[in-house]
């Protein structure tokens, strides 16, 4: 038999306490390790992990939001998509297919595809593309410089001029 507390809750032998709010809308469970679980009337569950100081809120829709002590926030959507907001305001989106998109505070956006292709869009209009075969930089003026894994470099200028540089020689 569990002893009843004045708030209508109970105390279990291992130190776990349960209780209801005075308006009977929130159930609270306090565990022996310091963790606290609140079950709200709307179905939302807020769980505080005392050891790591992480708060996890689970919504009836299946959305899970984690608040970390360093102010990082992570959202885990039911379909597998994840959003991470870092303390410096960087945002990272992780898709179920393995692709990623990171938006930095300066406006730089990095896309990473499941195949490993990385595209970096800079605020000044420049774009970099990295693959296992080459690295390419595209400038807003139309200049494109490509460096291949064998060391060959090609620069295509907006004027139509092409410069090719092999390891030890330059060809125009």
H helices present in 13-129, as ranges: none
Please state, for a pLDDT cut of 90, what percent of the chain lies above it: 72
How many CA atoms are closer than 13 Å to the CA of 31, on its beta-carbon side?
11
| Per-residue model confidence (pLDDT) at position 26 | 83
Q: What is the pLDDT of residues 59-68, one digit of tens each?
A: 999 999 999 9
Give the C-alpha separation, 128 to 136, whole Å. Answer: 5
| Per-residue model confidence (pLDDT) at position 10 | 47
Please state, for a pLDDT cut of 70, what percent of the chain lies above it: 84
Which DSSP symbol is given to 42? T
Q: Which residue, among 155, 157, 153, has the nearest Cα to 166 in the 3D structure? A: 153
Q: What is the pLDDT of residues 142-160, one digit of tens each?
A: 999 999 988 899 999 989 9
How many CA atoms are closer than 13 Å to the CA of 63, on its beta-carbon side?
8
pLDDT class for 84, splitting at 50, 70, 90?
A: very high
| Per-residue model confidence (pLDDT) at position 74 | 98
Of the two residues 6 and 74, the one the predictor is more confident about is 74
Q: What is the pLDDT of residues 87-126, one digit of tens each?
A: 999 999 999 999 999 999 999 999 999 999 999 999 999 9
| Per-residue model confidence (pLDDT) at position 23 | 66
The average confidence (pLDDT) of the chain is 88
Which value, in Å, is the radius of gyration of the alpha carbons in the chain? 27
pLDDT class for 170, splitting at 50, 70, 90?
A: low
Confidence (pTM): 0.77
């Amino acid at each position: 038999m569990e002893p009843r507390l004045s708030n209508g809750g109970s105390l279990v032998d291992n130190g776990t306490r349960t209780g209801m709010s005075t308006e009977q809308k929130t159930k609270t469970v306090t565990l022996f390790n310091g963790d606290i679980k609140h079950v709200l009337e709307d179905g939302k569950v807020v769980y505080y992990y005392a050891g790591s100081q992480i708060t996890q809120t689970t919504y009836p829709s299946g959305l899970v939001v984690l608040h970390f002590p360093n102010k990082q926030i992570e959202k885990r959507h039911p379909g597998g998509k994840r959003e991470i907001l870092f303390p410096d305001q960087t945002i990272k989106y992780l898709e179920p297919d393995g692709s990623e998109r990171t938006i930095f505070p300066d406006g730089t956006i990095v896309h990473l595809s499941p195949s490993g292709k990385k595209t970096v869009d800079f605020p000044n209009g420049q774009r970099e593309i990295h693959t296992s075969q080459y690295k390419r930089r595209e400038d807003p003026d139309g200049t494109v410089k490509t460096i291949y894994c064998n060391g060959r470099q090609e620069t295509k200028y907006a004027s139509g001029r092409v410069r090719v540089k092999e390891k030890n020689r330059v060809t125009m």
